Chain A
């Protein structure tokens, strides 16, 4: 017994001493001092070096889009690093095409600020703001998706965005995380509706942010939010519209539909909404109402797995089957697709095969 206790103590002791040494080394060796970051040849920031560029800029109030929270998997945080970024890292290479490499495009979550940098970012990123929000209403839409309404506490002007865009939601540190974490979520609400925005948040297995929202977040809790981001939003044109969504991908699509209802836009519109089983369908009432209120809108849900004995009479199969069945070659459509990366990619190539021009297909992939 004593032997056991001594073993545990000694091994933990050795571990603790080493951890302390590492902590000291981190404090003194990895101290990069102050660095200058020049943005678009006009703005100059003095920052503390040592952190990834994405987070350094975030601390300075410049919010680069990022869906994965700086993990190097979504590739949304691309910026041009003209000078001082060092060589391109192996972690970035899979996400950069040759033209981007030539233009010094880098993933800002992978570039560490070690010295002074010269960078270039799109002008509009200066307008992205950080908001304090409270969880106003949390409801179960399906067993795996929660509808979360956030009320903006400040700044008072609220958020201005286009229907279909997304925000980053930041949650505090909790049991599953060692630091605050953020992820991207599309807004299902439409701009101008007071200070409230609505998100659909699906539970991801072992997902840090989604688990927090599903299991820990209570009405009245304060959170941080940044936005708006993204180039997936409603475009005006006279063409017929096809919308394709799966899972929580309905959020930006619903935002666009609500916008069309509010602005009384009469374009012919079809929505293919795919889920696995009937319980996964949500917002059905509102979509059916929209069918009545909008002059020419049809909502077509499809289930990929219909349980034996179910009374389901609607479409069966995946959204791609619906495209095969209902879209004919040469249809002149604007297409909005939102959902998992695999779904978006297979729809995209299928639609291209049907002769729909690439620049009329807008999509938002979950990574």
Chain B
């Protein structure tokens, strides 16, 4: 089987294999941070950065360190630790240089650590045996795809807040889940268009 072109993989990860809308990973920050476009964008940007860096880094750690030493079974622990350290650094940077964003992200920034989309990307990378460049492209693409989804939903939610009169039981996460489902249905139509594995 030929190796997949990293560029193809990048676009596939954004559109046809969107990690949020086809794999439903990273739903908790997605639901809680999609109220406003601004914070959704900030959260998305943080996820893009963390996901691209950690997927590539975890690729190196996995194939250059763990596999040669026969320690693949430790990948869960190692991946989580790498992600945690990275998030810590992103948090410090955001706190120092973008205080407004830091306050609007609040508790969700450290929660990226346990964002399953990020961990999921690292695990897909292992299962699909991507090389370093592919991992970078896949990580960045998945991050951008996640960001695309959260920004799209936040725009829809902002619009809804201004115009729609929802029954109380449908407000907040409920309507968000329904809209996400519809969006996911639309994205499902793309599935299989591009081979990612």
Residues of chain A touching chain B, judged by Cβ–Cβ distance below 8 Å, are 3, 6-7, 10-11, 14-15, 18-19, 21-22, 25-26, 29-32, 86-87, 89-90, 114
Stretch in B95-103, B171-179, B181-189 touching the partner: B95-103
Contacts of A19 in B (CB 8 A): 85
Q: A10-B65, A26-B92, A30-B95 are in contact. Are A87 and B103 (CB under 8 A)?
A: yes
Interface check B61, CB cutoff 8 A: yes
Q: Across the interface, do A25 and B71 meet the contact criterion of CB distance under 8 Å?
A: no
Q: A3-B70, A86-B103 are in contact. Are A25 and B61 (CB under 8 A)?
A: no
Contacts of B106 in A (CB 8 A): 89-90
Q: Across the interface, do A14 and B78 meet the contact criterion of CB distance under 8 Å?
A: yes
A23 to chain B minimum Cβ distance, whole angstroms, is 11
User: What size tier do the contact residues of chain B reach?
Assistant: 20 to 34
Residue of A nearest to B84 (CB): A18
Contacts of B70 in A (CB 8 A): 3
Complex CA–CA separation, A6 to B78 (angstroms): 14
Q: Across the interface, do B89 and A25 meet the contact criterion of CB distance under 8 Å?
A: yes
Contacts of B99 in A (CB 8 A): 86, 114
Q: A14-B65, A32-B96, A86-B99 are in contact. Are A21 and B89 (CB under 8 A)?
A: yes
Residue of B nearest to A19 (CB): B85
Q: Across the interface, do B107 and A90 meet the contact criterion of CB distance under 8 Å?
A: yes
Q: Across the interface, do B78 and A22 meet the contact criterion of CB distance under 8 Å?
A: no
Q: A30-B96, A90-B107 are in contact. Are A15 and B65 (CB under 8 A)?
A: no
Q: Across the interface, do B88 and A29 meet the contact criterion of CB distance under 8 Å?
A: no
Q: A26-B92, A29-B96 are in contact. Are A10 and B85 (CB under 8 A)?
A: no
Contacts of B85 in A (CB 8 A): 18-19, 21-22
Contacts of A10 in B (CB 8 A): 65-66, 69, 71, 74
Residue of A nearest to B96 (CB): A29
Complex CA–CA separation, A114 to B65 (angstroms): 40
Contacts of A87 in B (CB 8 A): 103
A and B contact pairs by CB, cutoff 8 A, 8 listed = A14-B61, A14-B65, A22-B85, A25-B89, A25-B92, A32-B96, A86-B103, A90-B106
Contacts of A3 in B (CB 8 A): 70
Q: Across the interface, do A15 and B89 meet the contact criterion of CB distance under 8 Å?
A: no
Q: Across the interface, do A30 and B82 meet the contact criterion of CB distance under 8 Å?
A: no
Interface check B81, CB cutoff 8 A: yes
